[in-house]
Amino acid sequence: MRMKAWLRPVSLTAALGLTLAALVWNAGCTQPYSGKSSAEFQNATIDALLDGNYDGDMPFSELKRHGDFGLGTFDHLDGEMVALHGTFYQVTSDGHVHVADDAMKSPFSAVTFFRSGTARPLTAAATYHDLQTALDGMRQSDGRVFAFCVEGRFAHVRVRSVPRQKPPYRRLAEVTKEQTVFDLKDVSGTLVGFWFPESLRHVNVPGYHFHFLTNDRTAGGHVLDLKMIDGTVRMQELKVVKLALGPHAPATRPAQETPPAAGELDSAEK
């Protein structure tokens, strides 16, 4: 009887541990390593988004055929998209997190099948700048695209989301002046993002671009700043870039005589 009295709490603890392990598994970056290089796939260019092309042209059912991990936005610029483990999340400007329906459409997203074989622990507290310096040290090339998945504990993550727009659309740098900013304190979650080379500035955001999602899936958004406590970084080099240009994009895109200025991209996406 005495043994049984001991066994019960032990088995409960074990069951709880397994549940927590399963939660952590689902929350993080880990996927079986395929040994193959993945492609980065995206619909539309960052220049098209900066120009105010917010009409969704690609359903999420189609995006899922090209990746299970990534970031982007929604039809009418209705919030920030974070894709992790094949689930596509929508963080709306009220800060709520929704699971995106397959029939919803995106005007701009970047995805890949994230299968990283290498993990690097981050044991010291890091600012966003420190983290980017650490990631710089992991990249073996300044000419290719890299996907990064960073799971960890954060003292602070400053995220933003953007409000749904109505046509005629304004340029993104104008819209982001009305973004809602959330300061998340003491949260555990995952940074999902990419590093793009300067040479692809008109295709996607050069440098680092991260979206964040908490482990409990209650908050997230486009990352503006952070303070990390500790965590694990996983990286995947992407040797192929696939770019899909929707048939309706030119018709819905406001006529612009000049390409977006460099400062415009920084104010909208950095």
DSSP state of 203: T
- Smallest gap from Cβ 87 to Zn ion, in A, equals 18
- Judged by beta carbon, residue 159 or residue 238, the one nearer Zn ion is 159
Nearer to Zn ion, 248 or 270 (CB): 270
Residue 122's identity, in one-letter code, is L
Q: Shortest Cβ contact with Zn ion: which residue?
A: 222
Q: Least distance in Å: CB of 44 to Zn ion?
A: 14
Pick 119 or 197: Cβ nearer Zn ion: 197
CB of 220 to Zn ion, least distance (A): 11
- Please check whether residue 90 is in contact with residue 78, taking contact to mean a CB–CB distance below 8 angstroms: yes
User: Angle CA(103)–CA(107)–CA(109) in degrees, nearest 5?
Assistant: 90
CB of 148 to Zn ion, least distance (A): 14
Print the binding letters for residues 180-219 with Zn ion: x by CB under 5 A, - otherwise: ----------------------------------------
Q: Is residue 225 a contact partner of residue 172, using CB atoms and an 8 Å limit? A: no
Cβ 148 vs Cβ 233: under 8 Å: yes
Region of 5-13, 187-195, 221-229, 257-265 interacting with Zn ion (CB under 5 A): 221-229
Between CA 74 and CA 182 the distance in angstroms is 19
The answer to whether 222 contacts Zn ion (rule: CB under 5 A) is: yes
Q: What's the min distance (Å) between Cβ of 138 and Zn ion?
A: 21
Q: For Zn ion, give the closer residue by CB, 222 or 253.
A: 222
Cα 106 to Cα 8, 76, 144, 168, 190, distances in angstroms: 50, 9, 25, 18, 22
Nearer to Zn ion among residue 66 and residue 222 (C-beta): 222
For residues 30 and 45, which CB has a smaller minimum distance to Zn ion in the complex? Answer: 45
State the nearest-atom distance from the C-beta of 130 to Zn ion, in Å: 20
Nearer to Zn ion, 30 or 107 (CB): 107
Q: How many CB atoms lie within 10 A of CB 120?
A: 14
Cβ nearer to Zn ion, comparing 222 with 234: 222
CA angle 88, 75, 55 (to 5 degrees): 140
**Binding of residue 115 to Zn ion (CB under 5 A):** no
What is the rounded CA–CA span in Å between residue 222 and residue 169?
A: 20
Determine the size of the site formed for Zn ion (CB under 5 A).
Answer: 1
Which amino acid makes up residue 142? D
Measured from the CB of residue 186, what is the shortest distance to Zn ion in angstroms?
23
> Nearest distance from residue 211's CB to Zn ion, in Å?
6
Q: Which of 40, 27, 38 is nearest to 85 (CA)?
A: 27
Q: 73 to each of 81, 165, 256, 261, how far by Cα in Å?
A: 5, 12, 22, 21
Contact 147, 193 (CB under 8 A): yes
- Footprint on this chain of Zn ion (rule: CB under 5 A): 222
